[in-house]
Amino acid sequence: MLGGAGILLTASPALAAEVSYKTECIPPSISGLPPVQGTTTVQITAPAQAKVGDEVEVVWKTVVAASKNPDVLDLDKDTVKPTGTIKVGGAGSGTLSMEGPRQNPPIKKNSPMILPEMKGKLKLDKAGDITLTPDKYTINVSKPISTDTKCSPKESVGAAATIKVTDGGGTTSSGGSTTTSGGSTTTSGGSTTTSGGSTTTSGGSTTTSGGGTTTTSGGSTTTSGGGTSGGGGGQTDFPGKQVSVNMACTSPGPASIASKVTIDAKKSGGSYALTVKTGKGVMNSPAPLPKGGLTPSMVIKIGGADSGTVTVTGTPNPAPLEAGKPVDLTDMTGTYKPGATGKATLSPGDLTINVTLGGAKIVIPCKVQGASPVSLELDTTKQAGGAAGGSGNSGANGGSGGGDDLAHTGADDTGALRALALVAGTVILLGGAVFTFTPWARLRR
């Protein structure tokens, strides 16, 4: 049982101990299934003794997962990948990130979940007893579409292993010592964090620069870094300011998106043709997708003298996408017809990602978090049938503002997601990723 538990620079054999704890697992929200309670049994393997300065390997083995694979879908070989967190206590403080390979035997419906072992490396920087306590874990299933089931303790969990760390003459650092595995690898190889817990920042987050709005003289161009204003003088092109927007998304999409967004306008008669650009690599592809398998759309908020929304829609991806690889969203276009006279502001709103996989259509809504910054300001003249108080929007092809296949945002999201989970008459798309105790009778309901 301990043969797979490798140890680095240790002074004593590895010891393994088990702990069980009540667990709540949250299925992907797109599945429409409620949270389910279960019990997880974990075996933690770590050296019994080590010296300050050693880097040791810790192994997490899931002896019993919180539930069986539901009676919905057989899981293929090597489609399941776990990640988790161990709390480091005693003489240390912080967390140790654990990661396992995408490796499993075929798992039949209504049979126990078999998860591969997770590993992480811990740099020991202080003498004393270091306790290791299993905490949250996530189970990812890659087929037929990538989905996550997130499980967390619902009671106090006891330590599963203790490492006695002696002062072997190595350098010590104040506070506890923990390391986290970085990115998609198991560990980050010797990196340490000091007491107070380990925190990381997401690499994609950006902040906007600049302050108030500025325009250049002559009415023909605008400067970057400030708001832009379109008015008279025969000007037709109105470039917007690049702003940063943070969004929270729904599984199977990313947990969040931090992207730069620019809204440009071109005047045509009394209306404006809008082009909305997002930053590079705003998200990773949720699954291998063919050409034309992913289409973005966004709601543009109208403020200032005018009000309402405009929906802009992009073209489908021009080339196939690899699972987990960064995705550049295509430019989104639509038409804004002013409903009021005065200075109207345009701000990025909620983003919708439409995925077509086989014969199924999946909608991933991403909602703006906090206030949405203004990208463009226009001097407008009221047009008949304009936006004020409602929706003066049209899609890229001159269709309705919502688009034929776009999900509504707001209170209708839950119903839309439940309906999508039943595309083609089944929830099979996501059932393989939902590791719950839910009986098949409940799933049918």
Q: What is the pLDDT confidence band of residue 71, given thresholds at 50, 70 and 90?
A: low
349 is written with which tokens?
Answer: 């709103």
Same domain (yes/no): 109, 251 = no
Tokens representing residue 80 in the block:
């399941």
Q: Is the pLDDT of residue 426 over 70?
A: no
Asked if 241 and 162 sit in the same domain, the reply is: no
Q: Does one domain contain both 162 and 236? A: no
Same domain, 155 and 19: yes
Q: What angle do CA 381, 382, 386 make, to 5 degrees?
A: 130
Q: For residue 424, tell me if it sits in a domain.
A: no
Torsion sign across C-alpha atoms 248, 253, 259, 261: negative
Q: Which of 2-16, 98-112, 241-255, 312-326 has the lowest mean pLDDT?
A: 2-16
Closest CA to 364 of 244, 282, 443, 279: 282
* 45 shares its domain with 116: yes
Residue 180 lies in a domain: no
Q: pLDDT-derived band of residue 255, with 50, 70 and 90 as boundaries?
A: confident
3-state secondary structure of 413: helix
Do 238 and 153 have their domain in common?
Answer: no
Q: Do residues 239 and 364 share a domain?
A: yes
* 166, 198, 215 - which closes a domain: 166
Taking 80 as the threshold, does the pLDDT of residue 359 lie above it? no
Q: How confident is the model at residue 13 (pLDDT cuts 50, 70, 90)?
A: low
Q: Note whether 233 and 153 are same-domain residues.
A: no
Q: Indicate if the pLDDT at residue 159 is higher than 50.
A: yes
Same domain, 152 and 234: no
Place 1 in a pLDDT band, splitting at 50, 70 and 90: very low
Domain end (from 166, 188, 210): 166
User: How many CA atoms does the CB half-sphere of 228 hold within 13 Å?
Assistant: 26
Residue 440 lies in a domain: no
Tell me, yes or no, whether 248 and 153 share the same domain. Answer: no
Residue 65 inside a domain? The answer is yes
Q: What is the pLDDT of residue 316?
A: 93
pLDDT at 23: 94
The pLDDT of residue 17 is: 77
List the end-to-end C-alpha distance of the chain, in Å, as a whole number. 41
Q: Which residue has the higher pLDDT, 75 or 336?
A: 336
**195 assigned to some structural domain:** no
**Residue 216 burial (C-beta neighbours within 10 Å; 0-12, 13-18, 19+):** exposed
Q: Taking a C-beta distance cutoff of 8 angstroms, is the pair 348, 300 a contact?
A: yes
Residue 207's Cβ-count burial label (10 Å; 0-12, 13-18, 19+) is exposed
Q: Is residue 26 part of a domain?
A: yes
Cα–Cα dist 266/135, whole Å: 53
For CA atoms 166, 170, 174, 176, the dihedral sign is negative
Tokens 């047009």 belong to which residue? 383
pLDDT digits (tens, 9 = 90+) for 74-102: 889 999 999 999 999 988 888 999 999 99
- 378 and 238 part of one domain: yes
Q: What is the pTM of this model?
A: 0.43
| Mean predicted lDDT score pLDDT of the chain | 74
Spatial separation of the C-alpha atoms in residues 82 and 102, rounded to whole Å: 8
Give the pLDDT mean for 212-236: 46
Percent of the chain with pLDDT over 70: 67
Q: Domain range for residue 139? A: 14-166
Specify the 3-state DSSP secondary structure of 424.
helix
Greater confidence (215 vs 375) lies with 375
Confidence of residue 128 (pLDDT cuts 50, 70, 90): very high
Task: Please tell me what DSSP assigns to residue 347.
Answer: E
Under the phi-then-psi rule, with left for phi > 0, alpha for psi from -120 to 50, and beta for the rest, what region is 389? left
pLDDT in the model for residue 29: 64
Which CATH number goes with the domain that contains 128? 2.60.40
Clarify whether residues 160 and 233 are in a common domain: no
The pair of structure tokens assigned to 66 is 């919180």
Q: Parallel, antiparallel, or unpaired: how do β-strands 55-64 and 118-123 relate?
A: antiparallel
DSSP state of 68: B
DSSP E strands in 222-375: the ranges are 229-230, 237-238, 243-249, 256-268, 271-278, 283-284, 294-304, 308-314, 326-327, 332-336, 342-357, 360-368
- Does residue 222 belong to any structural domain of this protein? no
Domain count along the chain: 2
**Residue where the block lists tokens 């490396």:** 121
Query: Does residue 288 belong to any structural domain of this protein?
Result: yes
Lowest mean per-residue pLDDT among 121-125, 141-145, 154-158, 322-326: 141-145
